[in-house]
Chain A
Amino acid sequence: MALLQVKGLGKIYNTKLGMRQCVALRNVGFEVIEGEFVAIMGASGSGKTTLLNILASLDKPTSGDVLLDGVSFSSIPDRGLSEFRRRHLGFVFQDFNLLDTFSLKDNILLPLVLMQTPVSEMEARLMPIARQLGITQLLNKYPYEVSGGEKQRAAIARAVITDPRILLADEPTGALDSKASASLLSQFSDLHALGKTILMVTHSAMAASYASRVLFISDGSLFSQLYRGDETNRAFFERIVSNLSILGGGDIA
């Protein structure tokens, strides 16, 4: 059974005046197998952020359903959603969403604290992850004292410290320069190699070329998908770009 099943998702927004309806998603369906690194590509306004918000259980679809490990999101009561999110999903956001009131260490530990994990276990979990992401030296700094790339690595650490079933990333390289982006994406590759399931939304072909599969979304519908197979990043990148030119959107960088 696939880890994540997305079935016929539709999302319709009512505009403020209530007269016009805006279709953000139209019958989107796909599956993600355990250990996959999937990128969802699309131009801005194509519905990819809406899709991610629904997958993150932060938003509800108008039609269709999402199942994680066979558990339907719609079957979880509202009050259980936060806990579900905490236990099974990890998030990485474009603008990091770290809290200025916490040091990096406390930011990373936040989900564990919310889960009432004992202090000893928290520290045991923290160290290997921090080492892997290369932020051991920065743990006692505050978000405003470190660079964007470092912030994003802390955000990844926060996302994976709960050992979530799937890691959701929303434009994780959007606020980073190309060097920091490359280093961040190789962290993602490493996590992927360790067997993590990653679903990343991006409009950057460079970011997408690190994935094992790329889904293209346009005007709220799934348009096409590409599998990497045995290709190198470079070759896969070329293919993504040529596919994008058919789609007529997205950035090369």
Chain B
Amino acid sequence: METLHKFFYFRLALSNVRRNKLTYLPYLIATAVMSGVFLLIAGLLFSDSLTNTPSGRTATMMFGFGLVVYALFTFAFMLYINNFLIKRRKREFGLYGILGLDKRNIGRVLLWENLFVMGGGLACGVVIALVFGRLLFLALIQLIHAVPGSSFSLAPVAYALLFGLFFVIFFVTSVANLVRVHTANPIVLLSSEKRGEKDKKGLLPLAVLGLVLLGGAYYFAWTIDIPGLALGVFFPLAIVVILATYLLFLCGSIVVLRLLRLKKSLYYKPDHFVTISGMFHRMRQNARGLATICILSTMLVVTVSGTLSLYLGREEMTRSMYPFDAQVYVPDDATEEQIVAYDAALQSLAAENNVTLSADKSKLITELPEGEEYRRNNFVWTDSAFVGVPTLIFFDGSFRFDIAGTEADCVSFIQAIRDHYASSFSETPNLIVSDFYTAREEGYGFYGGLLFLGAFFAILFLAVAVLILYFKQITEGYEDKERFSILQQVGMDDRQVRHTINRQVLWVFFLPLGATALHMVFASRIMARMLRSFMLYDWSLVLCCIGGTLLVFAFLYFGIYRLTSRTYYRIVKR
């Protein structure tokens, strides 16, 4: 008997998944994408061949941090999607209850369903990671200028982390589903879907609050001038914007539609009549989903354009952090003889390595105040003249110079002066010689890794946004199907119906995109300021990156729109 029962739940769950494939398939695909990307990040993090190169090490560090944040996002999104789906099935659970399945039984079916979908998603995710892992590894090596080491393979640790994460997600979602089923009674469950909402009161103050918050956030974002402050203020501002976005989508939209409805000459026109009331109904149900899509899109554009700006601007940033090709710090207790000797050593090492050294004082950011002088041992340096100063020493007691020669020669020269340092000064060198070339290599690792992570996060945000859009289209499709068949019976012709559907779909779709673009206009300013604290001063580069990313995203979004609205039309037309 018991075995039969088990079999029964299993079968029921399997047929549920199959029957609901319109919703479960995208869920499975999203799980696959999220787990696949997670596995890839983890795989890159624990890849031996990557940790062996200097730029690889920096990138690995980034991935470690990225993996944690990614895991948190994945966790939150999976919970959100699960919640979204389970809410839609309340009616079905109510029906089961009436048919005589008790809550424990329903819970069991749900557990199986969850297991199928998540297990399937994980399996697909592993396949994705295996297929694309090598390709991505090669791309990453290209991006961060690492020397290709041994072949790429996914470390067992990566798998362990993936299964650990998804076990936690599976556990939490299952518990959440069980709690949801247990706390509701069948009658409530059955009637919950059809219940219409009443006109809520008190939306106007909330809408105004949203407007004020958004305006304030925009104002700050636009006017903040100090790069350091911009960096500190960006995340609090982002949270305010998120809050304001939700308020405006949830309350502001209703207030605006209500105003439109009050304007009778506008409202009672065939085109507007159905659209406005349809939007009204829709915003009450889907405003949160739309706001989430808008925020995900904004996060995506910010992440990609930010990391892209850093990657493309890395040369410039490194240059402004290292105005000279190399800099050698002289210990405080160094004698005059030691300094002169090292100066001479530098010159001879340069000759050995076929490079020439030069120094341009004007590159120094700090200028000596008029009429003052700087003393170091017996060297005196004034604004206008050097007295007894070795060829390349400058200002604050360090050698700074540019190197001319082939890149390979420059790099080996720097290695040589590093090696020579210890014999010149009694101290062991510790971050004593810093140079542009090493920094640039590290920059490749850091910013390349960052860009890579940015792309991974973009995939995550996009996957979730697409999923929400898709679910919305499906559920709205079924609702609208009924509405439009009634409209046709009342005498709306096919052409009008199609026109109205197009209008509504367009609005619902492009509202989040428009809001994203608006957010980005204001974000561009504060982002450019913020990137200044990374020494990225190239405004136009940042603007180009933001514009470009937004454009590409808009195209992508449009593609998604075409795909998902096709499903919608198919449902409505049937």
List the interface of chain A (C-beta within 8 A of B). 56, 58, 79, 81-83, 85-87, 91, 93, 97-102, 106, 109-111, 113-114, 116, 119, 122, 142-145, 158
Task: Tell me whether A109 and B268 are in contact (CB under 8 A).
Answer: yes
Task: Tell me whether A102 and B270 are in contact (CB under 8 A).
Answer: no
Provide the residues of chain A in CB contact with B397, threshold 8 Å.
none
Cα distance, A142 to B281, chains bound together (Å): 12
16 A-B pairs with C-beta separation under 8 A: A79-B494, A82-B492, A82-B494, A98-B486, A100-B196, A100-B281, A101-B280, A102-B277, A110-B490, A111-B491, A113-B270, A113-B273, A114-B496, A116-B270, A119-B264, A142-B196
Cα distance, A142 to B280, chains bound together (Å): 13
Task: Tell me whether B493 and A83 are in contact (CB under 8 A).
Answer: yes
B195 within 8 A of A: yes
**Nearest chain B residue, comparing its CB with the CB of A82:** B493
Provide the residues of chain B in CB contact with A119, threshold 8 Å.
264-265, 268
List the interface of chain B (C-beta within 8 A of A). 194-196, 198, 264-265, 268-270, 273, 277-278, 280-281, 483, 486-496
Provide the residues of chain B in CB contact with A83, threshold 8 Å.
491, 493
Provide the residues of chain A in CB contact with B196, threshold 8 Å.
100, 142-145
Provide the residues of chain B in CB contact with A98, threshold 8 Å.
486
Given contacts A83-B491, A93-B489, A100-B281, contact A106 B270 (CB under 8 A): no
Task: Tell me whether A114 and B489 are in contact (CB under 8 A).
Answer: no
Cα distance, A122 to B265, chains bound together (Å): 11
Given contacts A79-B495, A93-B489, A144-B194, contact A114 B278 (CB under 8 A): no
CB distance from B487 to the nearest CB of A (A): 7
Provide the residues of chain B in CB contact with A109, threshold 8 Å.
268
Given contacts A82-B491, A97-B486, A144-B195, 6 further A-B contacts (CB under 8 A): A83-B491, A98-B486, A111-B491, A113-B273, A116-B270, A119-B268
Cα distance, A56 to B491, chains bound together (Å): 11
Say whether chain B's binding surface is mostly helix, strand, loop, or mixed.
helix
Cα distance, A60 to B25, chains bound together (Å): 39
Partner of B490, one of A79, A91, A101, A142: A91
**Nearest chain A residue, comparing its CB with the CB of B194:** A144
Cα distance, A114 to B483, chains bound together (Å): 15
Task: Tell me whether B483 and A101 are in contact (CB under 8 A).
Answer: yes
Cα distance, A58 to B485, chains bound together (Å): 11
Given contacts A99-B483, A99-B486, A144-B196, contact A114 B492 (CB under 8 A): yes
**Nearest chain B residue, comparing its CB with the CB of A162:** B491
Task: Tell me whether B268 and A91 are in contact (CB under 8 A).
Answer: no
Task: Tell me whether A99 and B487 are in contact (CB under 8 A).
Answer: yes
Provide the residues of chain A in CB contact with B493, threshold 8 Å.
79, 81-83
**Nearest chain A residue, comparing its CB with the CB of B493:** A82
Provide the residues of chain B in CB contact with A99, threshold 8 Å.
277, 483, 486-487
Task: Tell me whether A122 and B268 are in contact (CB under 8 A).
Answer: yes
Cα distance, A82 to B195, chains bound together (Å): 31
CB distance from B37 to the nearest CB of A (A): 40
**Nearest chain B residue, comparing its CB with the CB of A158:** B490
Provide the residues of chain B in CB contact with A86, threshold 8 Å.
490-491
Cα distance, A15 to B277, chains bound together (Å): 39
Partner of A111, one of B281, B483, B488, B490: B490
Partner of B281, one of A101, A110, A114: A101
Provide the residues of chain A in CB contact with B281, threshold 8 Å.
100-101
**Nearest chain A residue, comparing its CB with the CB of B261:** A106
Task: Tell me whether A101 and B278 are in contact (CB under 8 A).
Answer: yes
Q: Which 6 A-B pairs have the closest CB atoms?
A: A86-B491, A82-B493, A144-B196, A101-B281, A101-B277, A113-B273
Provide the residues of chain A in CB contact with B194, threshold 8 Å.
144
CB distance from B199 to the nearest CB of A (A): 8
Provide the residues of chain A in CB contact with B490, threshold 8 Å.
86, 91, 97, 110-111, 114, 158
Cα distance, A143 to B198, chains bound together (Å): 11
Cα distance, A86 to B492, chains bound together (Å): 8
Task: Tell me whether B491 and A106 are in contact (CB under 8 A).
Answer: no
Cα distance, A97 to B265, chains bound together (Å): 26
